[in-house]
Structures are given as structure tokens and as C-alpha cells.
Amino acid sequence: MKLKALSTAIILAALPTAGAFAAALDRSGQSIAAFLQPGNYFEAGISVLDPNVSGKVKNGWTPNPALPAGTLGLENSNVGEMAGDYYFPQAALKFQLTDNLSFGVLYDQPFGAEAEYSTDTKKSPAALAATGFGNMGAFHNGTEGTKVEVKTQNISMIVGFQPTENFNFYGGGVYQTVKGNVQLRGAAYGGLAAFGDYNASIKEDSAVGWLAGAAFQIPDIALKASVTYRSEIEHEVQMEESLGSSALAATINPAAGYKPGKTEITTPQSVNVDFQTGVMANTVAFANLRWVNWKDFAIRPNDFGHASKFIPGKAAGFDLVGYTDDQISATVGVGRKLNEQWAGNVSVGWDSGAGNPVSTLGPTEGYWNVGLGLQFSPAPNYFIAGGVKYFMLGDAKAQAASDFNTSNYVADFEDNDAWGYGLKIGYKF
């Protein structure tokens, strides 16, 4: 079952930067393309993202309705660069065991976040202290600010059955780890919400899920289509939480009868649809569509959730992170074989975001992007590919956790962008 040279010589939509700045916590895009390569195949790649995300505190915003607008002098203060550079690797190894049976192992880092806030306030530390907010600015005006870091890793083990040259039915298990740290600081969390001194550490936890899919191909015209479903994966983690000097700290005191418990974190289910077809000699068109069920995703750390019920008007408590919409993203493009050693592609991508207003821990709403990719094949059985994408990030209104599912927000993030870079090697054996 060997594909024609056309479809194996062009990198198509599989550049490592495919999902580099998607909605919510989505990162890798969870491509299955490597497993659908013909014969025995290995690849490894890395993506690097360089974002530029900053904003301004909402005009008239105050962290406490008891304080009149302007009390803290935070209106239109700049929320400095909050999205740090990050990278994530991916790798795949696929064996064609027989004409009808294949096996593959895929590694990626599908979900994650990395952010750190600083704020240029208009008040001096002494003036801020006089308001009762110490050295906290809109997000912080001291030596440490709001930070979040979340990392997941997936190993997918897949078995495929090919009854004919045209069909491939596959499925398998997914082993996933998750870990992270959260630190909330500043008046955005220190007003009525009183979480301006909150810390949480998610020790690495593992859990399992599954995937299943089907692919159809017609090698003579370089046509290939696939649909892949990935299940949600449920984690139960023992988080280390602290409310510091907050007045809410007493609500999680075991001496007062509070019983600590585990926190549920369920990474979302998703569906990927991939398509390519030859459109003329040495040229293919390709498309990718992805859906991720972020609407049903939320993180409510056990201590945080319990303490939040003591906030006036929040008897039901609230989540640390949540989203109102599911994510839909799409990429379309054209790839062309330039000669026996060189191929390239151009693409355009769109991401819906996962709702607006959004969490202050990830204040963008989707994107548009444009990408360029280039592949060099010194020999027919291996290649080196690189790519770059420019992301025009959607404007967003950022809100604190206590305002989730309302129209309230604390800052506007507009006119932000990001650059993504990818490098990949592939080897057929």
C-alpha cells in the first residue's frame, strides 16, 4: 500500500506550529498525520511560540464596589506583557507490521498555559497601602505577580487495521500526565474575591483515555481524509493550596472542621477532521478542522472552591478557570512539490476562541493566522521541514474567576499578536 510520490513529498498541514496558539489551553492540535504515513516512519519536531499579549485596566474598574471608581488610580493602567515564550516537542514512531496491520506511538503536549502579569499603576505603593490593598496594583505592583503554568503530556498507542489499500480503521489508548502551578496576586483577585494571596501546586498526575478514527485514501490522486475522536481524560489530583493571609484562610482550617479533598481535572474530548487531495500536477490542497469541548471544562481546586462559597453573593462557589464556548478551528492551504528535493506550502488558519469575556489567565479570543512551510529532502527516505506562522490574536475582555458567566471584566486586551516557529525531521525506513 504505497502512496504516490506526490503525497509523500509534500509536508501539507502537519507543520509543528499547527496549534501553537489555539483557544483556551489547546496547544499541539493533536495531529494524527504521522500515524497515517505509508510504511515504517519516524518523525520528531519542536514548536516555539513568541507571543505579544498586553492590555489595559478597564476604565472605571474598581476591585470593590464599596470604593468609588478612581480610588486606586488603576483606570487605563497598562497590563504589561503577560504571555511568556514557550516551546513544546512532539514525536511519532509508526510500524507497518503487515499489509493489513500497523502500530504507532505518538508523543505530544496537547494542553498547557504559561502567563505572568505585571501592571504599571498610577498610584504609589504608599497610596495603594492607604486603600487597604497593600502593594497590589491592578494585577500587581510589587516583586511577584500573578503567574500560571500548566503542562500536559500525552503518549498515544495506536493500532490500525487496513482491510484494503483505501481504508484504515484505528484506535488505541492514551496515557496522559498533568502538572502545574498557579499564583494569584493583585487587586483583581484581592477585592471582594479575596484571593489575592492564593497559591496552588498540581503535583504530576497520570490518567488514561482513548482515541478512535478512520481514514480513506486514493493514492493515485493524492486524496486522503481522516476523522479522529479523542476522549476526555479524568484526573483526580491532590493539590497543595494556600490562601496566605486572606480572611478566607479560616474557612479551610481543619481545626474548624474542614476536610481537604482531591480536585477533579478533566481534559476535554475533541474531534479532528483532516483532508487533502491533488488539484494539479505536483500540487495538493489541504484542510484541517478541529473541535474541542471546552464548554464543559472547568478547574475548581478543592480548597479554592470551598472558600469561594463564603464570598458575598457566591454561595454556590465558582471555578478558578472555566470557558463558555467550545473551540472550533480550521486551517486550509496549498502544498506544492517544487522539484525532487524541495516542497513548500502556504496556509491560512482561524480559531473561534472559547468565549468572551475570558479568564485573566489566558486573555485572547481566538485568532487568524497565515503560515509558510518549506521541506528539504536530501534523499527520498528522509526530510527536514520548517515553518513560520503569524497569529493575529482576537481582542478579549479579561475577567476574574468570581465574575465567570457574567459580563463583568477587569481589563481589555487588544491588538495582540504572536509568531510561531516549527522544525521537524522525518525518516522512512
Mean local confidence (pLDDT), 43-62? 84
Percent of all residues in the chain with a pLDDT value above 70, rounded to a whole number: 83
The span from the CA of 213 to the CA of 228, in Å, is: 4
Q: Which domain holds residue 315?
A: 5-428
Mean local confidence (pLDDT), 379-395? 93
The span from the CA of 88 to the CA of 30, in Å, is: 12
pLDDT at position 84, please?
Answer: 75
Q: 62 pLDDT band (50/70/90 cuts)?
A: low
Tell me how many domains the chain contains: 1
The span from the CA of 94 to the CA of 378, in Å, is: 21
The span from the CA of 73 to the CA of 417, in Å, is: 28
pLDDT at position 113, please?
Answer: 86
- Model confidence at 182: pLDDT above 50: yes
Q: How many CA atoms lie within 13 A of 355 on its CB side?
A: 25
pLDDT at position 19, please?
Answer: 57
The residue among 401 and 320 whose pLDDT is bigger is 320
Mean local confidence (pLDDT), 164-180? 97
**Which is nearest to 202 in space by CA: 108, 116, 302?**
302
The span from the CA of 267 to the CA of 239, in Å, is: 16
Q: What is the mean pLDDT of the chain?
A: 84
The span from the CA of 96 to the CA of 39, in Å, is: 5
The span from the CA of 53 to the CA of 411, in Å, is: 12
Matching residue, cell 454556590: 316
Cell of residue 74, nine digits: 488603576
Q: 15 pLDDT band (50/70/90 cuts)?
A: low
What CATH number does residue 78 fall under?
Answer: 2.40.160.60
Task: Count helices and strands (H / E) in the chain.
Answer: 4, 26
Q: How many CA atoms lie within 13 A of 60 on its CB side?
A: 2
The span from the CA of 154 to the CA of 172, in Å, is: 13
pLDDT at position 191, please?
Answer: 54
pLDDT at position 17, please?
Answer: 55
- Model confidence at 216: pLDDT above 80: yes
Secondary structure (DSSP) of 359-412: ETTS----EEEEEEEEEEEEETTEEEEEEEEEEEEPPEEEE-GGGTTSS--SEE
- Model confidence at 144: pLDDT above 70: no
The span from the CA of 37 to the CA of 17, in Å, is: 19
Stretch among 137-141, 271-275, 301-305 having the lowest mean pLDDT: 137-141
Percent of all residues in the chain with a pLDDT value above 90, rounded to a whole number: 54
CB atoms under 10 Å from CB of 167, counted, come to: 12
The residue among 219 and 155 whose pLDDT is bigger is 155
Mean local confidence (pLDDT), 155-162? 98
The span from the CA of 353 to the CA of 355, in Å, is: 6
Q: 133 pLDDT band (50/70/90 cuts)?
A: very low
The residue among 40 and 22 whose pLDDT is bigger is 40
Cell of residue 225, nine digits: 481524509
Stretch among 23-32, 154-163, 272-281 having the lowest mean pLDDT: 23-32
- Model confidence at 236: pLDDT above 60: yes
pLDDT at position 7, please?
Answer: 45
Q: C-alpha 231: how far from its chain's center?
A: 16
92 contact partners, CB below 8 Å, separation of at least 6: 34, 35, 41, 42, 43, 44, 104, 105, 106, 107
- Model confidence at 280: pLDDT above 80: yes
The residue among 187 and 183 whose pLDDT is bigger is 183
